[in-house]
Structure 1
Amino acid sequence: MADAKKIIIALILGLALGALSAEIPQPLSGYLFETYSFFGSLFLNALKMIIVPLVASSIITGIAGIGGARDLRGLSLKTFSYYMVTSLVAVITGLILVNLLTPGEIQGKSLTTILELKEFAGGTGIVEEKVGAAGFKSVLNVFLEMVPPNIIKAAAEGQMLGIISFSLLFGLFIPRIGHEYSEILFKFVRGVHEIMMAITELVMKFAPLGILCLVAKVVTEAGGSNIVELLKGLGLFALTVFLGLFIHVFFTLFLTIRHIAKASPLSHFRAMAPALVTAFSTASSSATLPITMECLEKRLGVSERITGFVIPLGATINMDGTALYECVAALFIAQALGFEMSFLSQFVVVWTALLTSIGVAGIPAASLVAIAIILKAVGLPVEAMAIILPVDRLLDMLRTSVNVFSDSVGALIVSKFEERQGT
């Protein structure tokens, strides 16, 4: 909770400093704004820097681990199918809600227009062109981007759909080559993943300072008098995410437990309470892993064999809450910037959110990396993430709890299927 307290303090200080800076006359106000902008951009650049190696190594190690368990192929298929279906349903739930509630607009006007944020309001011609182009892309072109002709160029340009698909294939075929080579490759990629996790944790240690400066920058430009409008927009955004997570847990996952696992949803929820509380307080599905496994084995009677496979895999690639949040956040930012997202543009968001949720690290605030990927995919400025930072930490805690609960439901369902097949 120490990190959570630091981030909350940073948010409050950012709002206060921004409000004060907005009232200070020029040129001092301009100097402060540039200072906030510098440190905020430094934090965002650090996030961008780790995107490609972190996502690639996460996906490769996760998929290679599945492929390596040759005696668990049936288990792998059931687990992976559950993860993909529930993540897709979560993203679609978020998509519907963000289009119905339009949290980025207040009384028909985009949030950045109301706040008079010159950097974002109305956008730039280049951004408008990119978003417009995304709207006219065919579905086939989206899939074509998943097979880049030059993977090195795709990595250098941040074309994440190509990176993700290449990483999936690379991880899939590591166990299918000679053992002496596969073992070396897996250990190498695993080592890269461990290094990237350590670098990510280092970057996240500076998250309070980065968030403070980004929030102060937005409030300084908006003006202290517009804080109420900013909080109103963020409140509606947070409500949209909360409703989406609530519906996914108490409707989608509860019905899944009732009708597929043939179990009591409330009993399952109560049994997982210790893990859910830990997930909420730490905002880390990886840190919650031991408690999640203990709850499943001792409180729900799921075998150690199944929890030992399904839960660690879920902590790596099953991120229902994160996928939903990424979708809502990207479309909220588009609405706040005043851009009209066509059906095909939103398809790009849905597809990218589904794929990037596979590679999100199970540590606090790691989904900011995924949101940056989605914004780049549809041509929106990554810097616009600053708008959602004041409420990101609380929503991070909520979506992590949903991620962990979905993992537990997956383990229960796989366990029931294995029992019915007499495995």
Structure 2
Amino acid sequence: MSQATRIFVALILALSIGVGAAAIAPERALVVADWVQPIGTMWLHALQMTIVPLVVSLLITGIAATAEAARASTLAGRAFVTFIVLLWISSALGGAIALGMLSAFPLGADLAAALRDALGSAPPTGEVPPFSAFLVALVPSNPIASAVNDAFLPMILFTTVFAFAITRLPVEERERLTGFFQAIGNAMLVVINWVLWL
């Protein structure tokens, strides 16, 4: 049985046990859920602890490999530019199609009223910071603090700049750093496999 099948079977089994226990003895099920919750939380934290090192290592090695391929041939460079252009076009098309579908198939009066009521009971969002504050927050003064505080966008921006800086280093240093981050990524994948096995 493959790992994906084992995980799927375990998920279905756990859901079935939870639903069955809640139907048969709801009070005892809540007590057991309180006992089991720390284990589930620990498991989830074990998966989450791999996210930052894995994202950083994959981003650095991906940019390094793309730059290396672009150096080797103009075809890779053209493919990268084509990919970016297609990504922008598909994003614009997705937004336009969504707006067109909403115009073509508007919400019924009862659904619109229900949505208004649901949103009307939500607490106020507070003051929206200006766009300049968003731009300033993009550039982290401390990338480690960004990673610690789960501020992924500034961390990814720093990692991208760092990865492009690596592509400008001499070959020996570039290969050493790329190999280091590739090893980190591979180690994180091993940890993820262990956690999923558990």
TM range (shorter): 0.7 to 0.9
Task: Name the SS of the counterpart of 2:58 in structure 1.
Answer: helix
Which digits, 9 at most, give the CA deviation of each residue in 1:248-297, with x for residues without a partner? xxxxxxxxxxxxxxxxxxxxxxxxxxxxxxxxxxxxxxxxxxxxxxxxxx
Q: CA deviation at 1:151?
A: 0.9
Alpha-carbon distance in structure 2 between the residues aligned to 1:165 and 1:36: 38
Aligned to 2:176: 184
Q: CA deviation at 1:18?
A: 1.9
Alpha-carbon distance in structure 2 between the residues aligned to 1:199 and 1:190: 14
Which digits, 9 at most, give the CA deviation of each residue in 1:297-317, with x for residues without a partner? xxxxxxxxxxxxxxxxxxxxx
Q: CA deviation at 1:190?
A: 1.6
User: RCO (CA 8 Å, sep 6+): is it higher in 1 or 2?
Assistant: 2
Aligned partners of 1:145 and 1:161 also within 8 Å: no
Task: Name the SS of the counterpart of 2:141 in structure 1.
Answer: coil
**Aligned pairs for 1:51-66 within 5 A:** 51-66=51-66
Check 1:71–1:136 CA distance in 2 against 1; reply closer, same or farther (3 A cut): same
Q: CA deviation at 1:73?
A: 5.9
Identity of aligned residues (%): 28
Alpha-carbon distance in structure 1 between the residues aligned to 2:171 and 2:68: 10
Check 1:139–1:87 CA distance in 2 against 1; reply closer, same or farther (3 A cut): farther
Aligned partners of 1:63 and 1:172 also within 8 Å: yes
Q: CA deviation at 1:52?
A: 0.8
Aligned partners of 1:50 and 1:200 also within 8 Å: yes
Check 1:91–1:192 CA distance in 2 against 1; reply closer, same or farther (3 A cut): farther
Check 1:82–1:205 CA distance in 2 against 1; reply closer, same or farther (3 A cut): farther
**Aligned pairs for 1:154-303 within 5 A:** 154-206=146-198
Where in structure 2 are there 5+ consecutive unaligned residues? 106-110
Q: CA deviation at 1:85?
A: 4.0
Aligned to 2:29: 29
Aligned partners of 2:70 and 2:77 also within 8 Å: no
Alpha-carbon distance in structure 1 between the residues aligned to 2:43 and 2:98: 32
Q: CA deviation at 1:90?
A: 5.7
Alpha-carbon distance in structure 2 between the residues aligned to 1:31 and 1:198: 34
- Amino acid of the structure 2 residue aligned with 1:15: L
**Aligned pairs for 1:393-404 within 5 A:** none
Q: CA deviation at 1:160?
A: 0.6
- Amino acid of the structure 2 residue aligned with 1:42: M
Aligned to 2:78: 78
Aligned to 1:93: 94
Check 1:184–1:87 CA distance in 2 against 1; reply closer, same or farther (3 A cut): same
Check 1:87–1:182 CA distance in 2 against 1; reply closer, same or farther (3 A cut): same
Whether 1:15 aligns to 2:15 is yes
**Aligned pairs for 1:37-52 within 5 A:** 37-52=37-52
Q: CA RMSD in A?
A: 3.4
Check 1:81–1:34 CA distance in 2 against 1; reply closer, same or farther (3 A cut): farther
Alpha-carbon distance in structure 1 between the residues aligned to 2:57 and 2:177: 11
Q: CA deviation at 1:59?
A: 0.2
Aligned partners of 2:146 and 2:154 also within 8 Å: yes
Alpha-carbon distance in structure 2 between the residues aligned to 1:199 and 1:92: 39
Aligned partners of 2:137 and 2:154 also within 8 Å: yes
Which digits, 9 at most, give the CA deviation of each residue in 1:8-31, with x for residues without a partner? 3223223322222223142x2222
Q: CA deviation at 1:186?
A: 1.6
Aligned partners of 1:64 and 1:173 also within 8 Å: no
Task: Name the SS of the counterpart of 2:61 in structure 1.
Answer: helix
Q: CA deviation at 1:157?
A: 0.9
Q: CA deviation at 1:142?
A: 3.6
Check 1:196–1:87 CA distance in 2 against 1; reply closer, same or farther (3 A cut): farther
Task: Name the SS of the counterpart of 1:149 in structure 2.
Answer: coil
